[in-house]
Structure 1
Amino acid sequence: MTNPTPERNKTQYAFNLTLAAVSSQVGCLTLVIIVGALLGGLWLDNAFGTRPMFTILLLVFSVPVTVVAMLWVVRKATSKIKPVPKENSHFQEEA
């Protein structure tokens, strides 16, 4: 019912930017891992003459590597986020 304070808007804006940055980092990291597995698998298949074997193996193994990397990035980013102190609840009840 009341309009949020400008300080609260700035905090929400900063939090949204943090979420966007973490999301883009995770997306880029996922892309790099999968493309690396694909190119590495194709290169190994070409070098050893085993067409689909290394490509499929590296792509399958890139899935858990990607999940672990995503969790690591998200945990690292969330550990740096500091909680916002809550406003005085008594003041909010009177308003």
Structure 2
Amino acid sequence: MSQTNAPKPDRSRYWLNLTLAGFAAQAGCVTLVIVLGAVLGGLWLDARFQTRPVMTLILVFASIPISLLVMFFIVRATTAKIKSNLKHQNGEEADIGKNG
């Protein structure tokens, strides 16, 4: 059997991909925690005040923009960290997140 000499993958690209996958997992987990907290809090408030679906629906609908804002701040912080690491490694500005 012959072995092909495939080019080695770039290690910095590999770590960047792992970082982005970790970011996606983090954003998904944070969204899940916020929505589950809203559901559980709404169910508890509904049981406390006998307003069966009202408080749960209010908190779930309020959790949607909150989770989007939290995800936005996570994206900004992660992107800034990746850019600063790449800039520090390469000595030049990274092009992640730039259009064009």
Bin for the TM-score computed over the shorter chain: 0.7 to 0.9
| Higher relative contact order (Cα pairs below 8 Å, separated by 6+ residues) | 1
- Shift in Å, 1:21: 0.7
Aligned-partner residue type, residue 20 of structure 1: A
Q: How many residue pairs were aligned?
A: 82
Taking the aligned partners of 1:63 and 1:18, their CA distance within structure 2 comes to 25
- Shift in Å, 1:83: 3.2
Q: SS of the residue aligned with 1:24? A: helix
Structure number having the greater helix percentage = 1
Q: Tell me, which stretches of 5 or more residues in structure 2 are unaligned?
A: 1-5, 92-100
Map residues 7-86 of structure 1 onto 2, 5 A cutoff. Answer: 9-81=10-82, 82-83=85-86, 85=90
CA root-mean-square deviation: 1.9
1:52-82: per-residue Cα shift (whole Å, max 9, x none)?
1000000000000000000011111111113
Aligned-residue sequence identity (percent) comes to 45
Q: SS of the residue aligned with 1:51? A: coil
TM-score between both structures, scaled by the size of structure 1? 0.79
Taking the aligned partners of 1:13 and 1:83, their CA distance within structure 2 comes to 13
Q: Which runs of 4+ in 1 moved over 4 A?
A: none
TM-score between both structures, scaled by the size of structure 2? 0.75
Larger radius of gyration, structure 1 or 2?
Answer: 1
1:16-39: per-residue Cα shift (whole Å, max 9, x none)?
011011000000000000000000
Taking the aligned partners of 1:27 and 1:80, their CA distance within structure 2 comes to 19
Q: Tell me, which stretches of 5 or more residues in structure 1 are unaligned?
A: 87-95
